[in-house]
Amino acid sequence: MSYVNNIKMFVRVFELGSMSAAARDQRTSPAVASARVAELEKHLGVRLFNRTTRRLQPTENGRLFYDGARKVLEAIDDAEAAVMASTLNLRGTIFVAAPLGVGRRFIAPHVPVFKDDYPQIDVRLRLSDRKIDVVGEGLDMAFHMGTLEDSTLKLRVVADCPRVLCAAPSYIERRGLPADGEALLRDRHDCLNLRFPGAREFQWTLVTPEGPRRFEVTGPFETDDGDVLTIWALDGRGIIMKPIFEIADHLKSGALVPVARATPPVPVQLSCLTQHRRLRDPKIRTFTDFIIARCRADLQREVDGLETFASGAA
């Protein structure tokens, strides 16, 4: 398997453009990553990368070998998947990513249960509100909140999650209670935004009598961590737009109060993204079906009785 491991390392170095990044991805050291690529180059008798102090650039031979190497690894994956499917001997490691709120509430609690049912499968869960590159980061699947741009990934819709605009009573007492999206702009309300590197100009899409409309809101604070936004809102620092499931307890207690209820936010879609070829792997299909079923049930329990917070009802 050492030759296959060398090929795997080469492929990840090629895709990530860095020995250190590929080493992190493969759970090893940069020295080991470099040694594996060097061993592969020695075996082939060609240089696969041009190395400088600042850049790692594939050679023409490296580009040619990458195309074949990917096909080899996919063939191995397919062969292993076929054997596992025929014997029901599911084993291996699954790499999963999810937003912080979704991951903590709906994914992480079920991972140990899945492990109990399938003891030979390990799950590596990464939680972050930043934008995820499923292919580039070597993930088997990623849960995504929001509209997906053009993608070659397989998408399964988990649920449409109602959202609400809300603020702390202390903010409303100080700044007033905006009735709709127009009031957010007219009265220059402090809107707390979730933003990550590479994000476009921020807009909130609200449902108006004329249909969905984008409002270019502004505010004093931004972060790439959704839970930090909630902390700021609880401290009276501004208005947030959140899926109801993330702030259900604060709505029930009155720590956060719905605002701009005449123009509620459009629901946000929770989806599961998977590379097409990975879906042929029975352990990936099994984990996906397991988690999605439980996510849907948990989400329904979270929002039951709270729909009025997301509607325009008084």
Q: Retrieve residue 277's tokens.
A: 């070829």
Is the pLDDT confidence value at 107 over 90? yes
- The domain that holds 29 is classified in CATH as 1.10.10.10
In the chain, the amino acid numbered 220 is P
User: What was the pLDDT predicted at 230?
Assistant: 94
Q: Find the domain containing 204 and state its range.
A: 163-266
DSSP 8-state assignment for residue 265? B
CB 18 within 8 A of CB 26: no
User: What was the pLDDT predicted at 153?
Assistant: 80
Question: Do 152 and 293 belong to one domain?
Answer: yes
In a domain, 314, yes or no: no
Q: Is residue 13 classed exposed, middle or buried when 0-12, 13-18 and 19+ CB atoms within 10 A define those classes?
A: buried
Q: Retrieve residue 111's tokens.
A: 């991972």
Report d(CA 133, CA 5) in Å as an integer. 23
CB 237 within 8 A of CB 221: yes
| Total domains, the chain | 3
Question: Do 136 and 284 belong to one domain?
Answer: yes
Phi first, then psi, for residue 32 (nearest 5°) are -65, -40
Highest mean pLDDT (candidates 58-67, 68-77, 91-100, 302-311): 91-100
**Closest by alpha carbon to 270, among 128, 151, 157, 127?**
157
Question: Do 70 and 94 belong to one domain?
Answer: no
Question: Do 43 and 169 belong to one domain?
Answer: no
Report d(CA 180, CA 199) in Å as an integer. 25
Beta pairing class for 193-194 and 222-223: parallel
In the chain, the amino acid numbered 39 is E
What is the pLDDT averaged over residues 163-179?
95
Is the pLDDT confidence value at 244 over 80? yes
Is the pLDDT confidence value at 134 over 50? yes
User: What was the pLDDT predicted at 302?
Assistant: 75
User: What was the pLDDT predicted at 5?
Assistant: 84
When pLDDT is cut at 50, 70 and 90, the band that residue 238 belongs to is very high
Mutual orientation of helices 60-87 and 282-303 as an angle, nearest 10°?
A: 80
User: What was the pLDDT predicted at 155?
Assistant: 85
User: What was the pLDDT predicted at 309?
Assistant: 63
In angstroms, the first-to-last Cα distance of the chain is 65
The alpha helices in the chain, defined as continuous H runs, are 2-16, 19-25, 30-44, 60-87, 100-102, 111-117, 169-175, 181-186, 226-234, 244-253, 282-303, 307-310
Question: Do 65 and 54 belong to one domain?
Answer: yes
Q: Retrieve residue 84's tokens.
A: 């596992």
Is the pLDDT confidence value at 234 over 90? yes
- The domain that holds 180 is classified in CATH as 3.40.190.290
CB 298 within 8 A of CB 106: yes
When pLDDT is cut at 50, 70 and 90, the band that residue 200 belongs to is low
More confident residue, 62 or 164: 164
User: What was the pLDDT predicted at 262?
Assistant: 94
Question: Do 134 and 220 belong to one domain?
Answer: no
Report d(CA 33, CA 18) in Å as an integer. 10
Is the pLDDT confidence value at 307 over 80? no
Q: Retrieve residue 120's tokens.
A: 């030979």
Question: Do 179 and 197 belong to one domain?
Answer: yes
Is the pLDDT confidence value at 188 over 60? yes
Domain end: 41, 70, 86, which one? Answer: 86
Q: What is the largest CA-CA distance in the chain?
A: 74
Question: Do 57 and 97 belong to one domain?
Answer: no
Question: Do 124 and 39 belong to one domain?
Answer: no
When pLDDT is cut at 50, 70 and 90, the band that residue 314 belongs to is very low
Question: Do 226 and 137 belong to one domain?
Answer: no
Q: Retrieve residue 54's tokens.
A: 């600042």
Hey, is 149 helix, strand or coil? coil
- Round the average pLDDT of the chain to a whole number and report it: 85
User: What was the pLDDT predicted at 118?
Assistant: 92
In a domain, 248, yes or no: yes
77-98 b/e with 16+ CB inside 10 Å = b?
beeebeebbeeeebebebbbbb
- The domain that holds 292 is classified in CATH as 3.40.190.10
When pLDDT is cut at 50, 70 and 90, the band that residue 88 belongs to is low
In a domain, 309, yes or no: no
Predicted structure pTM score:
0.66
Q: Retrieve residue 36's tokens.
A: 């594996």
Q: Retrieve residue 265's tokens.
A: 């936010």
Question: Do 294 and 220 belong to one domain?
Answer: no
User: What was the pLDDT predicted at 86?
Assistant: 52
CB 238 within 8 A of CB 260: no
User: What was the pLDDT predicted at 90?
Assistant: 83
Q: Which of 52-56, 205-209, 243-247 has the lowest mean pLDDT?
A: 52-56
Question: Do 46 and 182 belong to one domain?
Answer: no
Is the pLDDT confidence value at 85 over 60? no
